[in-house]
A = this chain, B = another copy of it.
């Protein structure tokens, strides 16, 4: 389409090598020819072809990012952070929406491989043997976000879920609550499910509160499941003064159901969420929650990936700090 380096060379009466040199400002030409070349480039509106560059440099200045769902509040925040750093450091990002579908994920990995991306960020899902094998075969840096693996040696960035859940529960206990329900994430989820349950149970145990089966219910992290879980809790008839939801979306669902049942939050019931998504601030009343620094996690992951790409040396995994954001859904019990 546009003019190539050859066209520039011809018009500037130099060789393509010289044009390439001034383009990548390497030494080997006089100031005069530099001026000349630059002028011709501007005149012709020449743009280098990154594809041709990539072919020879074996670097595409592109990274791939895999999300279970790009449109979730969670993913899009992380993506934002990744994109921010990637752009700052002259890389583009290809987004992949896996739908938590193994076939789809494998397809994406293959495509990213064929497109010769320089690195991959893999988020929120458990790293299966299959994924690991192809990732390994690609022989490029990989960073895990909001997930991790003991078996496979990829660096990760995440918060300490168990610890954070412990904190949330402890926070409720210190407010004076002893009948604390939990709405968990997906049953069997080893990444964002089980650890938060463990944190909850451990806090209860440390404060001498027995775990009660019927104050515990599974959800799937989504809003609807939060509504359903809250209803189930209410139907069981077991009394409780607080609920810890393993995601803000589920917490919001609980809030809605409480409202529908005429239960005043926080006066009659305290609710604490998890994630600190945008909705936490926007709910009525604003949601107290444990914050994951998602934007920063995205940024950090991208930084780690890029330094691995540039230096080739493996970086250390990072545990990000969580914190409790006190808004208006938690109060002392009556």
Contacts and interface: CB of A to CB of B under 8 A. Distances in A.
Given A283-B283, A283-B284, A79 B87 contact: no
B73 A69 contact: no
Contacts of A62: 94, 115
A1 B59 CA distance: 12
A288 interface: no
Contacts of A256: 282, 284, 286
A116 B282 contact: no
A84 B97 contact: yes
Nearest to A253: B282
Contacts of A137: 2, 45
Contacts of A80: 69-71, 97
A30 interface: no
A22 interface: no
B50 A115 contact: yes
A75 to B, nearest CB: 8
Interface stretch (A10-18, A106-114, A157-165, A209-217): A106-114
Contact of A77 (B50, B71, B255): B71
Chain A contact residues: over half helix, strand or loop, or mixed? helix
A22 to B, nearest CB: 17
Interface in A181-230: 223
B70 A79 contact: yes
Contact of A48 (B47, B83, B114, B285): B114
Q: Which 10 A-B pairs have the closest CB atoms?
A: A71-B80, A76-B76, A50-B114, A71-B76, A50-B115, A51-B54, A259-B284, A92-B94, A83-B97, A284-B284
Interface of A: 1-2, 45, 47-52, 54-55, 58, 60, 62, 69-73, 75-77, 79-80, 83-84, 87, 92-97, 104, 108, 110-111, 113-116, 137, 139, 223, 249, 252-253, 255-256, 259, 278-279, 281-286, 295
